[in-house]
Chain A
């Protein structure tokens, strides 16, 4: 089974000038651990909002690859936003769901994705032409090779082991993070 931090590192190793929004909980620690950057926006709350935050960024910065990295619980809370994004098809937006089938931050309670719900099929039904589930190293390698091509809205559901690597905690000051990212993008 794939390890979450390895997955994030592989997806972001050639990120260049891409912008990353991380969903609250482990994805925020993962992004901070393997790809710290002034072009990251770390969510510590606003559960269910990560994908829409990425969508707003993608509309405002059409020449940049905007990558949302979040968990299955966070993605489920914003499931309607898959319809909103699918209806608009921003080619420069990628949504990556690290699916450990559990709510890791609250004590590893099982999520819907461990109970038969297929979020990848939901994304496909919402119009994501590149909606796929990644479960093996070979599949991950295939996805990584074209990940930064911004030709179609991507949705990746990556099955990861339900382990919690050591927490790496980035800033919790949302204003500081806002200013840092806007300066990096030249929008401050």
Chain B
């Protein structure tokens, strides 16, 4: 399965899951999803200055009856920590897709501290975490995360592994 096709499959389950709002801080691994969201008239695509903004964005949308989802890089999870108390206090359904850095073939050592603690931080904050290492599992896992979050009022994060996403090209 090509990298493009798993991203299209993920976007398809986002649509079939009734999501109408995607908040994001850009990452190369999310580029195709972001492009799909921006090209879709039925999707609000909101670029944020920091990932932290996404937690109240999704919470407010849910109060108003809209399903939403967040895209961020592993470093962005650290920016969300106190704000995640909003999800936990109110039991807002929430889905975060996280592209991982700081692991497979990482070039930039500055990505390692947050990347190596991303899953633990999310779990400490009460999120359920699923990790995807194979492109073939991506869409099914995201679909399960959407069902889990919105049926059971929980926060669910899907970690997309750096090995699956492919090496970042540092020299063009």
Contact = CB atoms under 8 A, between A and B. Distances in A.
Given A47-B82, A52-B53, A84-B48, A59 B65 contact: no
Contacts of B53: 49, 52, 78, 80-81, 84
Interface in B44-65: 44, 46-50, 52-65
B109 to A, nearest CB: 27
Interface string B53-90: 11111111111111010000000000000110110011
B63 A178 contact: yes
Contacts of B38: none
Contacts of B61: 56-57, 59-60
Interface in A5-61: 19, 21, 41, 43, 45-61
B157 interface: no
A174 interface: yes
Q: Which of B48, B59, B68: most chain A Cβ within 10 A?
A: B59
> SS class of chain A's interface: helix, strand, loop or mixed?
helix
Contacts of A187: 63-65
Contacts of A182: 63, 65
Given A52-B56, A61-B65, A175 B83 contact: no
A49 B91 contact: no
B56 A49 contact: yes
Interface residues of B, number: 31
A84 B63 contact: no
Contacts of B83: 46, 48-49
B44 to A, nearest CB: 5
B125 to A, nearest CB: 13
A150 interface: no
B64 A53 contact: no
Nearest to B88: A174
Given A56-B57, A80-B53, A84-B48, A61 B64 contact: yes
Nearest to A59: B44
Nearest to A44: B89
B47 A87 contact: yes
A80 B49 contact: yes
A181 interface: yes
Contact of A52 (B60, B63, B90): B60
Contacts of B127: none
A22 to B, nearest CB: 13
A46 B60 contact: no
A110 interface: no
A56 B49 contact: no
Contact of B63 (A45, A49, A56): A56
A48 B52 contact: yes
A46 B56 contact: yes
B59 A53 contact: yes
Interface of B: 21, 44, 46-50, 52-66, 68, 82-83, 85-86, 89-92
Interface of A: 19, 21, 41, 43, 45-61, 64, 78, 80-81, 83-84, 87-88, 174-175, 177-178, 181-182, 185-187
The 8 closest A-B pairs by CB, nearest first: A60-B64, A56-B60, A187-B65, A80-B49, A49-B56, A60-B66, A174-B90, A56-B61
